[in-house]
Structure 1
Amino acid sequence: MTFREELGQIFGPGGWLETEYGFSSNAHQMAYAKAVLSALDSGDAEKPLNMLEAETGTGKTLAYLFAMALVASSGKRGVISTYTLSLQEQILYQEWPKVERYLNQTGRAVSIGRLISRLNYVSPARVADALEDLFGSIAAADAPYHELLDWAASSAAGAGTGLISEYVDKYGNLPDGISNDSICVPQHREPDNDMYGRDRADSESHDILLISHAMLHSSSFSWSQEEPASPLARLRPDLMLFDEADQLATVCESTVESHIRPATMRAKLRRITRQMPHLGVQSDLIQSQIETIETILNGRYQGEGSRAVLLEMSPDEQLFKPLAEHTLQVSTLLKRIGKSRKADRVSEEVMALNQYASMLRDFGEQSTMRATGICWSPVRHRPSLFTHEPSRAASLSRVIRSYTKRQATPPRVVLTSATLSDVLRPVKGSATAKDFQSLLARLWLRTDEVGQAARFSPLKFGSVNGIFLPDMNAPRPFLKEMGGALNPEWPVHCAETIRQHQEHGPMLALTTSYAEQEAIMAQFEPDALLGRRDEPLSLQVAKFRRDGGVLISPALWEGYNLRREDGTQLIATILITRFPFSPSSDIAALAQNRIARLQGRAVSTSTEYAINAERGAKKMRQGFGRGIRHPLDCIRLVICDPRFPQAKSGRSVGPFKAWYRVIPARFLGQWETAQIGSASSQEPEQPGGTPLWQTL
């Protein structure tokens, strides 16, 4: 029996999942599982990439686990990369036991493990150091801090997982004054967490390994080395599957731009000096060099026009040479501090300064692939150095090319997510590689490298009890006559819309920034809305689960599973303030123009705009999806932005006329009959006749 036939017996009518677990057969899930199997088991070696979008409700996680497990049972090694640790928990403790049960019944053994960053593991020694810093001595620490110390020693020794998340799950948030960074396993010394060492050693023996996108990105720079330091790079898997793949680009792009703020460097250095007073003259010398750098930056930046200024060897050579000399001296001195044995107590600051040291060395090296310059914070009135290197986002491309350099067969790669394809592109027939163009471009991959491209959508999953749009004459978020500043009437409009709809049950209100969130919250009495920035988001979410009300935040578009403790539906209304779209920053625009000029090519502003628009459209669809996580979920969708297209009137605002596609196709009938203006007690009219959206 072939693997493909075996998947039919697992997922098909009367199949293994239905017999063992009572699951109803899902044709879309089976088709998706077979597509993953085809990509991993018999894909085109010349086209190793496979783009498989599976909307929420397809059942993709269990489907791809069965497909990869079957292929791995033939002796191949696989890697599954995720954006969130919560998805890894779901895979390990909810979905994999089903796969493992099937494998055991059919006489096969496939092991699965996890390799995650040291930042997730607790260091008992650093917990003790943190308590001494806070209280002067461990004995003087309060009870919750002793509880943390006792747990850390026990869990790291093998009584638990050694993960900081274990403490949070058991006891709640870390005590005041304690952060993940301050108690995690340090980079520069031998780890004192047995579980960290065990997990890293075990990672090379598993058939399937769970990793994070961040780990893949950080290790990608060493994959082409003969003896890579990263255990992931040494593994060289045959199969790679990226779930939440739309976020892989976000992770990779996060390191494209780096900033070095002299004021931040001085603050960290003062903290180091307090713990390492023997530095003395050396510390004073570094402080002096940093002040000189800041003086140079302040003298160069005149505050005219753009908030960013590129530095070139010419005509800025007189500035650039002394700046490069001073940054190199600071880099050298910082490296010496990092090698000190007494740096353990301030390892967080030392690590940060070591990163600054590397960045400062990069700053002194001109390149056709890198732009360097100065930018200015109009809020803090402080300058910083920046480097912008777009090619750092090419992580997956680097990994695939490393196989080619070694004359080895590239791994079979599957990218999958609920929002993988271009949302704003018209859907015409079967998917092609061009339907995933914006994500491929962000990852520095080409459409001719894609072997298989497909979309999978459930015909029925959840329901929408009305879509509510504002009148076209409602206030817009920004005013052109105010230079694009936030319209003073905008938060008032959003607050009034919240009041109109909050009586229908718990509401998640998604904003695009904390500034917008705070402006809207200012229209209400204190504590009328959840979402205050002076309280941890996890605490706000816990209150929302317990009491309902309105939770407003720019940080919940994705990632959080907002359901009640018993797993039932929590959110009744999703409110989206405005399009989560923003153009490229001044720095990115300047850097891209410079790099293109040096490489002798033109910059396509329309392409850059399209990529940014797709990024925002996917975010908006993900926000909509926060409310529908189960087949029986039913929500109301409220949009405050009057630029959103209206089917009834046929009106839309130029650049945003295609944004109705952020609504999943199965709910576009509700958009066609959306209520315009203030909320009404009447039930939304039901769609009928020829869907208008099909003609747009």
Structure 2
Amino acid sequence: MLNGLSEFGKLHFVEGDTGIGKSLAYQLVLADWVANGKKQGGKHAARRGLISTYSRALQRQLLAADNLAVVQGYLRHAGLPPLSFALRMGRENYLSPERLALELGVTQLSDAVDNVRLPQAQRRLAKWALESDGCLMDLDAALLPEGVQPADIALRPQNPLPEALAAQQEHAQQCDIVVINHALLALDLVTQRQITQMQAPHVLLLDEAEHYSEMAEELLSHRISLQSAASVLKRLKQRGVAEQWQTLVDNMASTEHAGSAGSMGQGQREGLQQAVEVLLKRRPRESSHDPALWREWQHLRHSAEQIARRLREASRYLVLDYSPVRGLPGVVARAPGAASSLKAGAGERVTFLTSATLSDLDHAPGETPNFRYMRSRLQLPVTHKRSGLQCSFQARRFGTLRFRLPRGLPHPLAHEAEGCYRLADDFCRQALPYIVDRPGRTLVLCASYADVAALEAAWPQAHVHRLVAHRQGTALGELVAGLKNDAILVTPAGWEGLSPAREGHQAYWQHLVIVRNPRPLRSRVEQHLIEDLLYRRDVPAEDATRIAHGMLQRQSTVRTLHKLRQGLGRAIRHPDDDVQVTLLEPRIPRPSGYPPVKGVYASRVLLGAIPARFMYAYQNAEEPGGSAEQDTAQSRLAALL
């Protein structure tokens, strides 16, 4: 990183193993650079740093008191001036005093603090709101009135900014090092730094950088389900408009195109444009509707505004996306080049992208990694003038993992209607003994909340006292903080950013379980857009489909390896950690060569998720289970070889 700090205008790729102190290391390097500028004076005194993360947990970790104490201690030791740090998050992460007062039934929050007619919890809530910056991450949800969710009292675009928050944001614009998230960074870049007010010279560092491209595309793309739009309008009592949208659904639905995506015809565009224009003229009253419905309306209206703009531009990135089975239409306004926003203003700064899983994870130990996936998303080939360093730092020894890969497990998934998948009952029955048989605190990583529900439904009664099933919407950090020593936490949200402190002289988790391969579904919309681009270049239709499928398959594989690697990283957070890892996914090859059951195909590419320093442990993994006949056949094969 030190070499890259002198190369302004470049984007550098730096990968470092999970758990080895990477975040603190780059914080120290960045602090050193900014503080040295202050010491030198002149134009260097204006140096600032901007750190962007994907997870809120990492934002908090970077600004934790003990972390900042290490940084400021280093600066003192080096004879450098102290620095100021600030956290900057989007307004939806903060409380709206007006909305909370409305929920409590008072004119202003100060009236609620001593109001004896209010429950004590609500008075404490009002006191907290008045004395803090109102960050909803600090909110004790138990204080909320029954039926009220944090989203109901969050700041919205039309709500006035509280004075304390406005002062905090103004202060952040003057701080030496600011920590934000990827979504806010994308907005900052497309609005020419209106949010952070960063000017040259400054360094932008993206941690968990592999998520930036998806986050930017999600933020700048928009989608409307025509059926959902008709439902929202009907519930808002906008009957005429709702009927118009329902007619649009009836005319555009197509079972023939179910599960696919395609371009809109001229008639479809005109019908959609008329429906959008009528919708945007509606002005329902917020006070007449419950908060959840009003949030749906606000989201629908915002998406409709963006779709209207794309219709005026006759954008080819406006796509019809049909649901599986029934072929119900949705309209997607895609922003495929959103990640390239990272090149905006790059000439005025140094940019670092870093993560434990930034490369494609297909390089051998000692080889220079490649970053094809990230480069393709950023539209930054190696020959690009902005292309800078690319390097990887891997720990030679850092913690101990002991692997277990049960034999003979069936395919984990059962296919259901509407293109949905869930854990197969037979897989749950055979996998659960390997989840509950180890003592100590256990982290079970699933691919979805549906997986959590399937495991919970099949959970053995003898171990129900250990089960902690993560519910969607429940803060994971709070859940982890209250776990007992023998708890088994089952969650799809703990693959990264979950770093609880060690307890005593051992790792927080004594057992880590990965249930199945967390491969993301390929996007039908992206498939169509790639095919359409190839058609425009006169590539035959059959070849275009094959090429698009191959490109998206490779992208999906890299994202899967990233998530698996991050999941394994939850076990090791200290050089002395020693953790048992159980890999239930039957498609991960068993080191002995033991064959999977019929209908399951092993994928060696998944081994790229295991860091090189743990490959010896993987090769010596336990392999319980399997039938006696298969064991005998395997022994004979080994003897022959």
**Which of the five TM-score ranges fits, normalised by the shorter chain?**
0.7 to 0.9
- 3-state DSSP of counterpart to 2:208: coil
Moved more, 260-269 or 583-592: 260-269
Instruction: Determine the structure 1 residue equivalent to 2:358.
Output: 420
Alpha-carbon shift at residue 509 of structure 1 (Å): 1.4
Contact between 1:57 and 1:458, CA under 8 Å: does it hold in 2? Answer: no
| Counterpart check, 1:551 vs 2:489 | yes
Instruction: Determine the structure 2 residue equivalent to 1:246.
Output: 210
| Counterpart check, 1:325 vs 2:274 | yes
| Counterpart check, 1:54 vs 2:16 | yes
| Counterpart check, 1:218 vs 2:154 | no
Instruction: Determine the structure 2 residue equivalent to 1:675.
Output: 622
When residues 144 and 264 of structure 1 are mapped into structure 2, their CA distance, relative to the original with a 3 A threshold, is farther
Alpha-carbon shift at residue 607 of structure 1 (Å): 2.6
Instruction: Determine the structure 2 residue equivalent to 1:469.
Output: 405
Instruction: Determine the structure 2 residue equivalent to 1:7.
Output: none
Identical residues among aligned pairs (%): 24
Alpha-carbon shift at residue 203 of structure 1 (Å): 2.2
Contact between 1:119 and 1:180, CA under 8 Å: does it hold in 2? Answer: no
Alpha-carbon shift at residue 532 of structure 1 (Å): 5.2
When residues 547 and 635 of structure 1 are mapped into structure 2, their CA distance, relative to the original with a 3 A threshold, is closer
When residues 348 and 488 of structure 1 are mapped into structure 2, their CA distance, relative to the original with a 3 A threshold, is closer
Instruction: Determine the structure 1 residue equivalent to 2:100.
Output: 127
Q: 1:569 is matched with which residue: 466, 482, 507?
A: 507
Contact between 2:588 and 2:602, CA under 8 Å: does it hold in 1? Answer: no
CA–CA separation in structure 2 for the residues paired with 1:481 and 1:151: 46
Instruction: Determine the structure 1 residue equivalent to 2:426.
Output: 489
TM-score by length of 1: 0.76
Q: Deviations over 1:234-292 (max 9, x none)?
A: 64662111112122233223236532235544665578x6xxxxxxxxx63xx422321
Instruction: Determine the structure 1 residue equivalent to 2:153.
Output: 183
Instruction: Determine the structure 1 residue equivalent to 2:443.
Output: 508
- 3-state DSSP of counterpart to 1:455: strand
Alpha-carbon shift at residue 147 of structure 1 (Å): 1.8
| Counterpart check, 1:631 vs 2:578 | no
Instruction: Determine the structure 1 residue equivalent to 2:72.
Output: 100
- 3-state DSSP of counterpart to 1:575: strand
Alpha-carbon shift at residue 293 of structure 1 (Å): 1.6
- 3-state DSSP of counterpart to 1:178: coil
When residues 151 and 185 of structure 1 are mapped into structure 2, their CA distance, relative to the original with a 3 A threshold, is same
CA–CA separation in structure 2 for the residues paired with 1:85 and 1:520: 28
When residues 263 and 611 of structure 1 are mapped into structure 2, their CA distance, relative to the original with a 3 A threshold, is closer
TM-score by length of 2: 0.82
| Counterpart check, 1:588 vs 2:553 | no
Alpha-carbon shift at residue 61 of structure 1 (Å): 2.2
Q: Deviations over 1:342-371 (max 9, x none)?
A: 999897456424313323414534655513
CA–CA separation in structure 1 for the residues paired with 2:290 and 2:625: 60
When residues 242 and 589 of structure 1 are mapped into structure 2, their CA distance, relative to the original with a 3 A threshold, is same
CA–CA separation in structure 2 for the residues paired with 1:488 and 1:610: 30
Instruction: Determine the structure 1 residue equivalent to 2:634.
Output: none
- 3-state DSSP of counterpart to 2:344: helix
Q: CA RMSD in A?
A: 3.5
- 3-state DSSP of counterpart to 2:586: coil
- 3-state DSSP of counterpart to 2:392: strand
Q: Deviations over 1:213-237 (max 9, x none)?
A: 11011233222xxxx6x22256466
Matches of residues 6-25 of structure 1 in structure 2 within 5 Å?
A: none
CA–CA separation in structure 2 for the residues paired with 1:654 and 1:326: 48
Residue identity in the other structure for 1:400: K
Matches of residues 652-667 of structure 1 in structure 2 within 5 Å?
A: 656-667=603-614
Q: Deviations over 1:558-606 (max 9, x none)?
A: 2222456779522111111111113413333223323443466654432
Q: 2:90 is matched with which residue: 87, 112, 117?
A: 117
CA–CA separation in structure 2 for the residues paired with 1:289 and 1:600: 42
Alpha-carbon shift at residue 328 of structure 1 (Å): 1.9
Instruction: Determine the structure 1 residue equivalent to 2:123.
Output: 146
CA–CA separation in structure 1 for the residues paired with 2:143 and 2:534: 47
Q: 1:261 is matched with which residue: 189, 200, 225?
A: 225
CA–CA separation in structure 2 for the residues paired with 1:219 and 1:658: 37
Instruction: Determine the structure 2 residue equivalent to 1:610.
Output: 554
Instruction: Determine the structure 1 residue equivalent to 2:41.
Output: none
Residue identity in the other structure for 1:113: A
CA–CA separation in structure 1 for the residues paired with 2:186 and 2:48: 19
| Counterpart check, 1:83 vs 2:54 | yes
CA–CA separation in structure 2 for the residues paired with 1:595 and 1:132: 56
- 3-state DSSP of counterpart to 2:388: strand
Residue identity in the other structure for 1:116: M
Moved more, 489-498 or 473-482: 473-482
Residue identity in the other structure for 1:597: Y
Please list every run of 5 or more consecutive structure 1 residues that lacks an aligned counterpart in the other structure.
1-35, 156-160, 274-282, 404-408, 680-696
- 3-state DSSP of counterpart to 1:210: strand
- 3-state DSSP of counterpart to 1:676: coil
- 3-state DSSP of counterpart to 2:167: helix
- 3-state DSSP of counterpart to 1:546: coil
- 3-state DSSP of counterpart to 1:53: strand
- 3-state DSSP of counterpart to 2:196: helix
- 3-state DSSP of counterpart to 1:629: coil
Q: 1:356 is matched with which residue: 300, 303, 309?
A: 303
Instruction: Determine the structure 2 residue equivalent to 1:398.
Output: 341
Q: Deviations over 1:400-428 (max 9, x none)?
A: 2345xxxxx342111111121112x1326
CA–CA separation in structure 2 for the residues paired with 1:454 and 1:173: 48
CA–CA separation in structure 2 for the residues paired with 1:368 and 1:359: 11
When residues 125 and 478 of structure 1 are mapped into structure 2, their CA distance, relative to the original with a 3 A threshold, is closer
